[in-house]
């Protein structure tokens, strides 16, 4: 049975770096060009073309290593990794072998509220290969746009113990990459790719079992589903007394199964040797200091700060999942909004209409952080009701909230929120006599709740809501609270 076996998983995540050009040449590294439009003599492997290292790629790799707590090599070399495949024009890939730029470190995240830390073996730089495109009637094409695109390969120790933990680890890597601004982490576009090495061993055993490598997982769901299937497949084999074959397997999402791709019973001989056309890479102490100073507040540090400021672990987790969301929340609080109410608004109102949190970056959003702070403070001060606040927000965001993918440019609401708050405040019922009459009517209509109020003060929310309904949502919440406290003793 699967419960008799311990799952051991190691992950290799390839992160495409968001540089303008390729790692060793000048061609564009942008996604989406026509096939073979972004090529040059270097990435095509033409005779006499020599590679030149992209400084921005190195800086991205070092920042990633620093954020993950790795040891950074101040001097390292690239190597040639030889294999033959149609999408590899040179017949070798420029990578790093025995001298990776980053060693050690860990990826930290939370799974079901519990802190996790998966150790890293290494992070190294390399160039991507091209892409084989298989068409109908057995015809295949090669698109070399991706050849030479800069990658960081993040190799974990075999510390992962479940498919769910593996998926959350990959999600944490993507979050970190986006926080650092070194990649977009779009799995569907191939800019973040994951391979999983999966094996089983008897519970309590220290010896590793035979592993299989799973490829072709292009979403967090696929990572989880593929590993879950592979664990069940291996457990079934072992329970029957059969052996697991070391091989590479592909995930077929349509059928929900892994299938054999090629045998890996013996290790490939890639004939690594130092890349003769590139000098050793040296990172100076001055450069290291500057790159360390460029790091933003990292997700787990932000999470600790938010919970320390009184936010729930659930709210803090939602806010730190995307840097843009956290930045927007921080700016709202910095503009004077109370933290808990600001968190509620960002999570329940803003994220509900924004679609992709990355659209919150910059100032060109319908409700900038400063304007949201004005709205939240007005509700907190009793100038308008919560219902009026939501109506104002919906009115300002309005048309742009309908399309959750369109860019939010040129639609800022600076000053508009204040004007609408003033109008709503004028329509708000603040007359003491009218409000007291509404409050008395509600209390009289709910004698049982009124009798229980002293033992259950939380019923105040029930009474306030009932009075707001009685006033058509236009009652002054602060005044209503004061009148109800007197009436209910």
> Which CATH number do you get for residue 472?
1.10.10
Domains in the chain: how many in total?
3
Tokens read off for 110: 């939370």
**CB of 45 closer than 8 Å to CB of 91:** yes
Choose one of 250, 267, 287: the last residue of a domain.
287
* Ramachandran category for residue 190: left, alpha or beta (phi over 0 → left; psi -120 to 50 → alpha): left
Co-location of 119 and 166 in the same domain: yes
Tokens read off for 82: 């030889």
pTM here?
0.86
Which pLDDT value is given to residue 386? 84
Which pLDDT value is given to residue 388? 84
Co-location of 382 and 445 in the same domain: no
Co-location of 37 and 161 in the same domain: yes
Co-location of 315 and 218 in the same domain: no
Which pLDDT value is given to residue 54? 98
More confidently predicted of 479 and 102: 102
Which pLDDT value is given to residue 191? 93
Co-location of 263 and 332 in the same domain: no
Co-location of 257 and 386 in the same domain: no
**If we measure between CA atoms, which residue out of 374, 384, 392 comes closest to residue 474?**
384
Which pLDDT value is given to residue 429? 65
**Domain interval for residue 446:** 432-488
Mean pLDDT of 428-441: 80
Choose one of 287, 314, 345: the last residue of a domain.
287
**CB of 371 closer than 8 Å to CB of 413:** yes
> What band does 320 get if pLDDT is binned at 50, 70 and 90?
very high
DSSP state for residue 21 in the 8-state scheme: B
Co-location of 146 and 124 in the same domain: yes
More confidently predicted of 402 and 149: 149
> What band does 395 get if pLDDT is binned at 50, 70 and 90?
confident
Co-location of 174 and 210 in the same domain: yes
Choose one of 242, 264, 287: the last residue of a domain.
287
Q: Which helix (H) or strand (E) holds 121?
A: strand 114-127
**Residue 128 in this model has a pLDDT that exceeds 60:** yes
pLDDT 10s digits, 154-201: 999 999 999 999 999 999 999 999 999 999 999 988 899 999 999 999
Tokens read off for 228: 């879950």
Place of tokens 């609408």: 420
Q: What are phi and psi of 230, to 5 degrees?
A: -65, -40
**Residue 105 in this model has a pLDDT that exceeds 70:** yes
What share of the chain in percent tops pLDDT 70? 93
**Does residue 292 fall inside a structural domain?**
no
Co-location of 127 and 266 in the same domain: yes
Co-location of 227 and 364 in the same domain: no
Co-location of 53 and 88 in the same domain: yes
Which pLDDT value is given to residue 11? 98
100: exposed, middle or buried (Cβ count in 10 Å: 0-12, 13-18, 19+): buried
Q: By mean pLDDT, which of 97-106, 151-160, 350-359 is the weakest?
A: 350-359
> What band does 414 get if pLDDT is binned at 50, 70 and 90?
low
How many C-beta neighbours within 10 Å does residue 173 have?
25
Co-location of 258 and 193 in the same domain: yes
Q: By mean pLDDT, which of 295-299, 374-378, 398-402, 456-460 is the weakest?
A: 398-402
DSSP string spanning 197-261? EEEEEETT--S----EEEEEE-SHHHHHHHHHHHHHHHHHHHHTT--PPPEEEEEETTTTEEEEE
Q: What is the CA radius of gyration of the chain?
A: 29
The per-residue pLDDT of the chain, averaged, comes to 90
């Amino acid at each position: 049975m699967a419960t008799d076996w311990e799952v051991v998983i190691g992950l290799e995540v390839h992160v495409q770096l968001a540089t303008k050009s390729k790692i060793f040449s000048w061609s564009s590294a942008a996604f989406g060009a026509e096939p073979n439009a972004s090529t040059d003599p270097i990435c095509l492997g033409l005779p006499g073309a020599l590679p030149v290292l992209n400084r921005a790629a190195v800086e991205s790799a070092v920042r990633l290593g620093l954020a993950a707590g790795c040891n950074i090599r101040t001097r390292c070399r690239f190597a040639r990794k030889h294999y033959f495949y149609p999408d590899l024009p040179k017949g070798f890939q420029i990578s790093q072998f025995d001298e990776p730029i980053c060693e050690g470190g860990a990826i930290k995240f939370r799974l079901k509220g519990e802190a996790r830390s998966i150790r890293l073996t290494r992070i190294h730089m390399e160039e991507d290969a091209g892409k084989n495109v298989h068409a109908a009637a057995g015809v295949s094409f090669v698109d070399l746009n991706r050849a030479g695109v800069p990658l960081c390969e993040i190799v974990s120790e075999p510390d992962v113990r479940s498919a769910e933990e593996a998926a959350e680890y990959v999600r944490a890597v993507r979050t970190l990459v986006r926080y650092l601004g070194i990649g977009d982490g779009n799995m569907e576009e191939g800019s973040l790719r994951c391979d999983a090495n999966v094996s089983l061993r008897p519970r309590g055993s220290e010896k590793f079992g035979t592993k299989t490598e799973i490829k072709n997982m292009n979403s967090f769901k696929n990572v989880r589903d593929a590993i879950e299937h592979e664990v069940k497949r291996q457990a079934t084999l072992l329970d029957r007394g059969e052996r697991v074959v070391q091989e590479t397997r592909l995930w077929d999402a349509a059928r929900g199964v892994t299938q054999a791709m090629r045998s890996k019973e013996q290790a490939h001989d890639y004939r690594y040797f130092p890349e003769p056309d590139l000098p050793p890479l040296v990172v100076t102490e001055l450069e290291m200091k500057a790159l360390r100073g460029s790091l933003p507040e990292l997700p787990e540090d932000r999470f600790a700060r938010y919970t320390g400021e009184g936010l729930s672990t659930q709210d803090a987790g939602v806010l730190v999942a995307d840097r843009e969301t956290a930045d927007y929340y921080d700016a709202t609080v910095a503009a004077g909004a109370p933290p808990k109410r600001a968190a509620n608004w960002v999570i329940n109102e803003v994220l509900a209409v924004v679609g992709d949190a990355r659209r919150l970056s910059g100032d060109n959003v319908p409700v900038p952080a400063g304007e949201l702070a004005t709205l939240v403070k007005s509700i907190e001060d009793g100038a308008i009701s919560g219902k009026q606040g939501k109506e104002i927000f919906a009115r300002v965001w309005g048309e742009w909230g309908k399309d959750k993918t369109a860019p939010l440019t040129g639609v800022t609401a600076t000053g508009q929120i204040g004007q609408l708050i003033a109008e709503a405040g004028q329509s708000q019922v603040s007359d003491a006599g009218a409000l007291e009459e509404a409050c008395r009517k509600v209390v009289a209509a709910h004698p049982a709740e009124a009798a229980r109020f002293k033992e259950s003060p939380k019923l105040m929310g029930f009474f306030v809501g009932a009075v707001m309904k009685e006033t058509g949502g236009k009652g002054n919440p602060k005044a209503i609270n004061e009148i109800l406290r007197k009436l209910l003793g």
